[in-house]
């Protein structure tokens, strides 16, 4: 069954159609953070399935594909937030990166999905560094990183590098 979502971020109206039940379930959590909208969309996302693969399209153009719903939703988030940042704050570049602050200096960890950005960021924060962002970082031409906070994404009860107790006792969850 196809789910339809329309919401607004700033003045940008986003439309999403998903025919994949796991993706639709994950989208509910993201979409619930924003105000619903009935205005015409500025950008349209669609999530379809074909031959056991999940496909993400933006304005009808294929952008991402895979067999794991979580990865497709992560791809959706990258494209969504990149579009929002580029539209609302064109002087900043959106990077797929985690960032922390150490002694009033920012440190950015860029990389592809599953490269270990969140793990490195988590370890740094557990060691006393300040949290700036997990999945997305905003970079100016001058090299300044602007915080783009969002909760660290831990979908499993346990992480290979951190115990559940260590995570629960930290300010991260």
Q: Are residues 28 and 52 in the same domain?
A: yes
Do residues 131 and 77 share a domain? no
Dist CA 114 CA 153 (whole Å)? 12
User: pTM (2 decimals)?
Assistant: 0.64
Comparing CA positions, the residue from 135, 133, 126 lying closest to residue 171 is: 126
Q: Among residues 59, 88, 117, which one ends one of the domains?
A: 88
Q: Is the pLDDT score of 156 beyond 60?
A: no
Place of tokens 């939703």: 73
What's the CA gap between 96 and 67, in Å, rounded?
Answer: 21
Q: Where are any strands of DSSP class E within 61-143?
A: 61-66, 93-102, 105-110, 130-133, 136-139
The encoded tokens of residue 4 equal 């339809």
Q: Same domain for 83 and 99?
A: no
Which of 54, 88, 122 is where one domain is finished?
Answer: 88
> What tokens does 51 get?
């031959």
Mean pLDDT within 101-123: 84
Say if residue 36's pLDDT is above 70: yes
Residues in contact with 22: Cβ distance below 8 Å, sequence separation at least 6, in sequence order: 69, 70
Q: pLDDT confidence of 143, banded at 50, 70, 90? A: confident
**Total of domains in the chain:** 2
**Average pLDDT value for the chain:** 84
Domain end residue (candidates: 69, 88, 107): 88
Q: Domain range holding 161? A: 93-169
The verdict on 82 and 55 lying in the same domain is yes
If asked whether residues 7 and 84 sit together in one domain, one would say yes
The yes-or-no verdict on residue 160 having pLDDT over 70 is: no
Cα 107 to chain centroid, rounded: 19
Instruction: Give yes or no for residue 27 having a pLDDT over 70.
Output: yes
The pLDDT tens digits for 73-104 are 888 888 888 888 888 888 888 888 888 899 98
Q: Which of 44-53, 136-145, 150-159 has the lowest mean pLDDT?
A: 150-159
What is residue 151's predicted lDDT score, i.e. its pLDDT?
56
pLDDT of 157 strictly over 60: no
Statement to judge: residues 57 and 134 lie in one domain: no
In this predicted structure, the answer to whether residue 165 has a pLDDT above a threshold of 90 is: no
């Amino acid at each position: 069954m196809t789910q339809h979502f329309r919401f607004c971020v700033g003045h940008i109206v986003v439309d999403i159609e998903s025919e994949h039940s796991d993706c639709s379930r994950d989208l509910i959590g993201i979409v619930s953070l924003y105000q619903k909208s009935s205005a015409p969309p500025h950008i349209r996302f669609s999530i379809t399935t074909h031959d056991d693969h999940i496909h993400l399209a933006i304005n009808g153009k294929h952008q991402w594909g895979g067999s794991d719903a979580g990865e497709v939703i992560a791809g959706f988030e990258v494209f969504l937030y990149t579009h929002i940042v580029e539209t609302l704050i064109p002087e900043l570049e959106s990077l797929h990166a985690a960032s922390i602050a150490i002694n009033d200096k920012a440190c950015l960890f860029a990389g592809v999905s599953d490269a270990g950005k969140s793990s490195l960021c988590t370890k740094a924060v557990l060691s006393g560094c300040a949290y700036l962002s997990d999945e997305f970082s905003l970079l100016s031409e001058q090299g300044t990183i602007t915080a783009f906070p969002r909760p660290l994404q831990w979908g499993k009860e346990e992480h290979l590098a951190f115990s559940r107790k260590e995570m629960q006792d930290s300010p991260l969850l």
